[in-house]
Amino acid sequence: MSQGTVLLSWVIDPFVLKPGESMPDSHTQYQDCAQVARTFLELGFAVGVIDSHNRTFRPTKSYALFIGHRINFDRIAPLLKSECIKIAFLDTAHWVFNNHATYLRKLQLQQRKGVTLTGSHRLVEHNLAIEHADYAVAYGNQFTLSTYRYANKPLFPIHISSCVQVPWPEHKEYDTCRTHFLWFGTHGFVHKGLDWVLEAFAQMPEYQLYVCGPLEREMDFVRVYYRELFQTPNIHAVGWVDVNSSKFIEIANRCIGLVYPSCAEGQAGCVTTCMHAALIPMSSYESGVDVNNCGFVLKDYSIMTIIHMVQEISHLPANILGDLSRNAWEHARATHTRERFAKEFKNIILTILGEPRCKEIERSRAA
C-alpha cells in the first residue's frame, strides 16, 4: 500500500539520464538527490521530482512530504497543505552568516592589497527555507547547524557523500612529501581562502604549493595574484583537475596535506575528497568537516597562522604523518560514502516519521 507521494525539489539530472548515460560526478548533489528519491521509494512512497530553480511549479495534488533544497523552498511550502510534512535540505551555512563572512573576506583582501574584486565570493541566495520547514537535514558539523538554530526547528546533520574513492597509497614517501601541500577547490577563491594561502606560501620558498581550481573562471583574482601564481617558483598553478583522473592521484600522492581556510560551508566536499586521497586536512572549523584525529583545525584566520601550521605539520615525524594520513583515509571511507549517506538519510526519515507530530498527521489522514 502506498504511503502517499513525496515532492522532491532539488536537481532533476539523475532522473532524466539517457540509456547508458552515467550519473554526473562533478558534484555529490546528483548522487545524493537520487538516493533521497530511492529511500522514499524503498519506504513505500511515490516520488515526484522538480528542479529547485523551477519558479512556476504549483502543486495540483496532495503530498505526504515535501523535501526541498533551500532554493525555492519558501515559495513552494506555503502552497502545500498544512498536513504535508516539510523538510528543508540545507547544503550551506545560513545565508546571513555565509554572505557576511564572504564579504568580510573581500574587505580584508581590499585592506591588504588595495584592490576590490567584484567576484571571488560565494553568495547564498536569500531564502526563508528554515522558517517554512517542519524539519531540516543539513550537511555539516556543529558550526553549520549553529547558523540555523535560531529558528528552533529540529535539525538533523548528515555527512556528504563522495564522488571518488581512492586506494590507499602504499608507497607514499612521507619524508619526501612533507613539504608539499595542496589547495583544492572550486570558484570563490577569496571565500575559500586561496588568497591567504598564496600569500603564506610566497613567504615560504622551502615549501611547495599546488593550486588546483578553475583559475579561468576568476581572471580578476588571477590578475591580482599573477606573481604568486605564475612567478613564484614554489607555487604551481595547476588549474582544475578531475578527481577521477590519474593526475589528481599523482598530485595527491606528491603532497602531505590540504590547506583550506574557507570562511563558510555546509560541508566542504573538496576537504572530504582530499581525505579520500589520504591527504591530511588543515582546514577551518567553518569548512563543516570535523577532522578530529586525522587533521588540524586553523586556530584563527591569518597568513601567519597558516605559515605556523604548515611548518608544524611538516616537522612531524614520518610515522606520525603516516598515521594521520591513514586516519584521514579511513575516516573518509567510513563516513563520506554513498552507503553512509543512504543509511543516515533513511534513519533521519524514519525518526521524523516517528515524531509525535507525524503520528498526529497520520491519524488525521486515516480519520
134 falls within a domain: yes
239 falls within a domain: yes
Exposed, middle or buried: residue 197 (CB in 10 Å: 0-12, 13-18, 19+)? buried
165 falls within a domain: no
According to the model, what pLDDT value does residue 366 have?
A: 57
According to the model, what pLDDT value does residue 367 have?
A: 55
Say if residue 30 is in the same domain as residue 149. Answer: yes
Reading the block at residue 333, the C-alpha cell is 571511507
CATH of the domain at 248: 3.40.50.2000
According to the model, what pLDDT value does residue 358 have?
A: 58
Say if residue 291 is in the same domain as residue 351. Answer: no
Q: Please determine, for residue 362, whether its predicted confidence score (pLDDT) is greater than 60.
A: no
Say if residue 144 is in the same domain as residue 274. Answer: no
104 falls within a domain: no
Least Cα distance to 282 among 299, 265, 266, 267 occurs for: 299
Q: Is-contact 38 14, C-beta < 8 A?
A: no
120 falls within a domain: no
Tens digits of residue pLDDT in 232-256: 999 999 999 999 999 999 999 999 9
Say if residue 317 is in the same domain as residue 211. Answer: yes
115 falls within a domain: no
Tens digits of residue pLDDT in 73-97: 999 999 999 999 999 999 999 999 9
pLDDT tier for residue 18 given thresholds of 50, 70 and 90: confident
According to the model, what pLDDT value does residue 101 have?
A: 98
Q: Is-contact 163 243, C-beta < 8 A?
A: yes
Say if residue 328 is in the same domain as residue 181. Answer: yes
Average pLDDT of the residues in 309-320 = 98
Q: Give the integer Cα–Cα distance in Å for 249 and 65.
A: 42
Q: What is the largest CA-CA distance in the chain?
A: 74
Q: What is the DSSP letter of 293?
A: G
Q: Specify the range with the lowest mean pLDDT, choosing from 20-29, 176-185, 255-264.
A: 20-29
Q: Give the integer Cα–Cα distance in Å for 51 and 74.
A: 14
Go through the chain and tell me how many residues it has: 367
pLDDT tier for residue 14 given thresholds of 50, 70 and 90: confident
Say if residue 251 is in the same domain as residue 358. Answer: no
The 3-class secondary structure across 235-294, one letter per residue, is EEECCCCCCCCHHHHHHHHHCCEEEECCCCCCCCHHHHHHHHCCCEEEECHHHCCCCHHH
Reading the block at residue 172, the C-alpha cell is 607514499
According to the model, what pLDDT value does residue 286 have?
A: 98
CATH of the domain at 85: 3.40.50
Say if residue 194 is in the same domain as residue 331. Answer: yes
Q: Please determine, for residue 168, whether its predicted confidence score (pLDDT) is greater than 60.
A: yes
| pTM for the whole structure | 0.93
Q: Please determine, for residue 365, whether its predicted confidence score (pLDDT) is greater than 80.
A: no
Query: Could you list the residue range(s) of the whole structural domain that residue 228 is in?
Result: 174-335
What is the number of domains present in the chain?
2
Q: Give the integer Cα–Cα distance in Å for 136 and 94.
A: 12
Q: Give me the phi and psi of 234, to 5 degrees please.
A: -90, 5
List Cα–Cα distances, 354 to 5, 111, 149, in angstroms: 18, 52, 22
